[in-house]
Amino acid sequence: MTLRTLGCGEVKPAHYGTTQTFAGWVQTIRAKGTMAFLVLRDRTGLVQFVIKKEGNGPLFDQLTPLSPESVVSITGLVQATEKAKAGFEVIPSAAKVLNVAATPLPFALWDDKIETGIDTRLDNRYLDLRGNRSAAIFRIRHKVVESGSTWLRANGFQEIHTSNISGASSEGGTDVYKFDYFGRKAFLAQSPQLYKQMMMAAGMDRVFEVGWYFRAEKHNTVRHLNESTAFDLELSFIESEEDVMKAIEGLLSHIWKAVATDCAAEVATLKADVPVPTKGFRRVPYEEALTIINHELDTATDLPAELKMPHLKFGDDIGSSAEKVLWRAMKREGHDFYFITKWPLAPKPFYVMPEDGTQDSRLCRGFDLDYRGVELISGGQRIHDPVLLEAGIKRWGLDPKDFKDYLDAFRYGMPPHGGCGIGIERILMMMLGLPNIREAILFPRDVTRLTP
């Protein structure tokens, strides 16, 4: 006898009248006198067994004492019945107890009346992932990665895998993990940014990577992680950042449609709203965004107290509160997705293309994509001229000698190019309305959490 011939959620009318073997975790056992109802769960769903003591005493005595979340394999006859909500039940004939779960469980896994804090859930992640909510999130995460990768490949992007160990900070910031690499200074990569650009010089016109980000920021908020994942993509022979934004429109529209269509049950479990984009994403130049935000601050009569702030001026960042103010105006226009374009050059990374092609430029060809009031993506056109790029490195107070391998890739024919990074956890948090980004990654790492 095999441990499993059919998934718990895979029973079809064609299986009625057949004997099948199921394996999984005991979710509940309800005994009523000489009859018991055992619900078994695996990743495909649930199946209910009806166990009668009369005529099946040894099996009744074997199964009814089991603790919740014990692992068993049960063989039985699948019978159609109008009494069962699923339209069938299984009458067991044999069982193997594979592992008995300890009691009590670390938290009430199936009692919706008891709220369990996220720290307790993450401390016992293996158990938390058995619950409907977490299981739904990671089935959707799988669909996000699968559908995104499928769209990228179908649109000419080649998948690459780059190193997470670098001899230079990839974005020029200070929030990097430094370590000794056989007597030399090394860093964990903040992103595959520099390697993606080197691939443009290699003639790989379009590349993408589902990669890891490591950022040593000391933020401890519901929106930040110190280790995260992302779609990173880069494409060559572009006219401007507009070509990159068009690629993002196609990619995210495909992902949202795939989740809404293929994960409808999971979306319903999470009570999420996943509207499929039906029109192009709004472009809002940075200075127009400031005007919209300031106008909203002046005229809105229902602005929450936490969103009230001084007027923004050129050079100011559009922080989380200002993003939400801007979202109020975008929502009235019917835009869930909208790009903020033509940012000031000064705060942007050294590789971002200045708007007029000089390091004295006021603006740059970088952009952010916001979704419902939260930044989802940062990207833009990159500098492809080595002289201008070296000037950008110096503008950040960095030494071009530390970027020799990177700069060499620009000296022998680099095409105009651009790209972006799209955080997968940020996609899930915003798409599904999750209150904490830590729910969107299996084993979150933040300023306090290093286990499990």
Cα-based angle 97, 99, 101 (whole degrees, multiple of 5): 120
How many CA atoms, within 13 angstroms, populate the side-chain half-sphere of residue 386?
15
- Number of CB atoms found within 10 A of residue 259's CB: 25
* Model confidence at 412: pLDDT above 90: yes
pLDDT at 294: 97
Q: How far, CA to CA in Å, does 171 sit from each of 111, 185, 403, 429? A: 46, 16, 11, 25
As to burial, measured by CB atoms within 10 angstroms (0-12 exposed, 13-18 middle, 19+ buried), residue 395 is middle
Q: Check whether the bond before 104 is cis (ω within 30° of 0).
A: yes
Residue 452 has pLDDT above 60, yes or no: yes
Residue type (1 letter), 140: I
Q: Cα-Cα-Cα-Cα dihedral of 277, 280, 285, 288, to 10°?
A: -70
Query: Which pairing describes strands 19-32 and 206-214: parallel, antiparallel, or unpaired?
Result: unpaired
Q: How confident is the model at residue 81 (pLDDT cuts 50, 70, 90)?
A: very high
pLDDT digits (tens, 9 = 90+) for 178-194: 999 999 999 999 989 88
Q: What is the pLDDT of residue 174?
A: 58
Q: Among positive and negative, which fits the CA dihedral 180, 181, 185, 189?
A: negative
For position 172, what pLDDT does the model report?
Answer: 52
Average pLDDT over residues 243-266: 98
Of all residues in the chain, the percent with pLDDT exceeding 90 is 88
Band of pLDDT at residue 30, cut at 50, 70 and 90: very high
Integer Cα distance of 430 and 433 in angstroms:
5
More confident residue, 347 or 145: 145
Task: Please give the Cα distance from 227 to 219 (Å, whole number).
Answer: 12
Higher confidence at residue 88 or residue 219? Answer: 88
At 344-387, the pLDDT tens digits run 999 998 999 999 989 999 999 999 999 999 999 999 999 999 99
Mean of pLDDT values over 5-26: 96
List, for residues 219-231, the tens digit of each pLDDT value: 888 988 999 999 9
Distance (Å, whole) CA 413 – CA 200 = 10
Catalytic residues: 215, 217, 223-224, 375, 378, 426
Nearest CA-CA partner of 242 in 280, 186, 192, 294: 280
Rounded Cα–Cα distance for residues 116 and 136 (Å) = 17
Is the pLDDT reported for residue 173 higher than 70?
A: no
Instruction: Check residue 171 and give its pLDDT.
Output: 57
Question: Can you list the domains of the chain with their CATH numbers?
Answer: 13-99 (2.40.50.140), 132-281+335-440 (3.30.930.10)
Chain mean pLDDT for the chain: 94
pLDDT tens sequence across 311-337:
999 999 999 999 999 999 999 999 999
pLDDT at residue 122 greater than cutoff 70: yes
pTM of the model: 0.92
Tens-place pLDDT, residues 261-271: 999 999 999 99
In this prediction, residue 219 carries a pLDDT of: 85
SS (H, E, C) the chain: CCCCCCCCCCCCHHHCCCEEEEEEEEEEEEEECCEEEEEEEECCEEEEEEEECCCCHHHHHHHCCCCCCCEEEEEEEEEECCCCCCCEEEEEEEEEEEECCCCCCCCCCCCCCCCCCHHHHHHCHHHHCCCHHHHHHHHHHHHHHHHHHHHHHHCCCEECCCCCEECCCCCCCCCCCEEEECCEEEEECCCCHHHHHHHHHCCCCEEEEEEEEECCCCCCCCCCCCEEEEEEEEEECCCCHHHHHHHHHHHHHHHHHHHHHHCHHHHHHCCCCCCCCCCCCEEEEHHHHHHHHHHHHHHCCCCCHHHCCCCCCCCCCCCHHHHHHHHHHHHHCCCCEEEEECCECCCCCCCECECCCCCCCCEECEEEEEECCEEEEEEEEECCCHHHHHHHHHHCCCCHHHHHHHHHCCCCCCCCEEEEEEEHHHHHHHHHCCCCHHHHCCCCCCCCCCCC
- Whole-angstrom Cα distance, residue 65 to residue 213? 47
Does residue 55 have a pLDDT over 60?
yes
